[in-house]
Chains A and B, each alone.
Chain A
Amino acid sequence: MISLIFFLSVGVLLFSSLFLLARRNTRPEGSSSALVEARQALRTLQAGLLPLELVNRVFAEQDWEYVRSETPRCIHELFLDERKGIALLWLKQVRTQIRSLQRFHRGAARHYARLNPRTEVELALSFAALMGACKVLQVLVYVAGPYAAPRMVGLVANVANRACKTSEQSLGFLDAARLGALARPSDAAIL
């Protein structure tokens, strides 16, 4: 009976893989346009959304103290709800950064003849662990709110900033001239 379950499980795994294949788009990912998009996303985040001063301002605890002392209780809830939404948005952006980095790494690594399968497996597991950790943090913020763990918000901001900076280094080889060359007419509109 155990062997039957085992082989049927292998069959289910194969069926799932074939199902995903049948539903999959044939267009390859990680092409130059995807790299251009990754670069563009980083720029937008760095320039408009991630400066540390702005993050500190958005999550400043003084705001909460002011609202708590100067406004009625119904405003407290509204305020906390909005701040929680912002914290969740921030965590979502960290996840986007990790996903962007992973996509860039996969898009580049598959072209290397000297690719090390073991290293790739390790990296894939690390990415999965990071994404999982971010998801757990999102749940914590959702349940406990943005001010329940004030250090965590700062942590998230720093992580997002650092991730952006280092990802930019990873994408550094895509200088402006090359970006222009890589971008298709449709990409040119975005750039």
Chain B
Amino acid sequence: MSRWLIMGLGLLLEFLLLGRGLQARLVKRYYFFYLYVASVIFFTAVMILANWTAPSLYDRWYWPLQLGTLVTGYGILLEIVNHVLAPYPGAERFARFSGLGAFGVILTFALLAPLVAPHWSRGTIIEFERDLRSVQAVFICGVLAVIFYYGIGMGRNMKGMIMGYGLYILTSLMSLAVRSYAGTRFDQIWDVVQPLSFDISLVIWLVALWSYCPNPTPDHMIHLEEDYGALVARTKGVMGAIRAYIGI
């Protein structure tokens, strides 16, 4: 019962988030994010309806729809790369390089897995989702590492988007890992923890995306009259000199 209450509250928050996004014209700016929100609304509505009308359909539809939202959730990661790293082509290239690799892994898993194992047990599919969530977690860590390393600033919208989605992935990953280890005895906790963590993420998104807040950009864009190779060569030159003197 508590699960359905939490999911109902979540549906309300999702509609509020989408409605506010349309009103504040954020949908045009962050279309991948709102596509994800729309897909989650569809998923939640179908699940609630299925549970009321034909409970047998719930188990049959849960995982395909869950995997669908997992793939659209990747759009949030693309949104982060597009908006936060856009003014920094070098850092964006770095993040895109690692992001495409992670997306390739997700897509390959999603396409090949049903062919390889068409009759999955609940346990197997939980492990599958856990693996995909871990790929997303690693990707977020990678993008954040690039952001921290290059000292890139973020506005409230993007910070909230990453915090909300990161928190949801974190809770999902932890609960899926424990569920696949502990078995069905963890189901009661898992059934509440996962939708509850998503509701918390929705609240974070609602606050962070209430109005448009652009990312800060460097106060001056310096045009360097040398190419990247020359910059690297100079940096390496200094380090080589330091190494030679220190003797390492």
Task: List residues of A whose CB falls within 8 A of some B CB.
Answer: 1, 3-4, 7-8, 10-11, 13-15, 17-18, 20-22, 24-33, 35, 94, 98, 101, 103, 105-117, 119-120, 123-124, 126-127, 129-130, 133-134, 137, 155, 158-159, 162-163, 166-167, 169-170, 173, 182, 184
Contacts and interface: CB of A to CB of B under 8 A. Distances in A.
19 contacts: A4-B180, A11-B174, A17-B145, A18-B163, A28-B218, A31-B218, A33-B219, A94-B242, A106-B149, A109-B232, A110-B90, A112-B231, A113-B93, A123-B235, A126-B239, A159-B242, A159-B245, A159-B246, A162-B245
Nearest to A126: B239
Nearest to A178: B222
Nearest to B138: A10
Nearest to A4: B181
B217 A14 contact: no
B241 A115 contact: no
Contact of A117 (B97, B156, B217): B97
Contacts of A17: 140-141, 144-145, 166
Determine chain A's interface SS by DSSP, over half rule.
Answer: helix
Q: How large is the interface on B (under 10, 10 to 19, 20 to 34, 35 or more residues)?
A: 35 or more
Determine chain B's interface SS by DSSP, over half rule.
Answer: helix
Interface of B: 88-91, 93-94, 97-98, 130, 134, 137-138, 140-141, 144-145, 148-156, 159, 162-163, 166-167, 169-170, 173-174, 176-178, 180-181, 216-222, 224-229, 231-232, 234-239, 241-243, 245-248
B89 A112 contact: yes
Contact of B232 (A28, A98, A116, A166): A116
Contacts of A120: 90, 94
A98 B242 contact: yes
Given A7-B134, A33-B219, A170-B234, 6 more contacts: A27-B153, A30-B151, A109-B90, A111-B222, A130-B239, A162-B241
A12 to B, nearest CB: 9
A126 B235 CA distance: 10
Contacts of B173: 7, 10-11, 14
A163 B237 CA distance: 10
Contact of B228 (A24, A114, A167, A170): A114
Contacts of B235: 101, 105, 123, 170
Contacts of A113: 89-90, 93
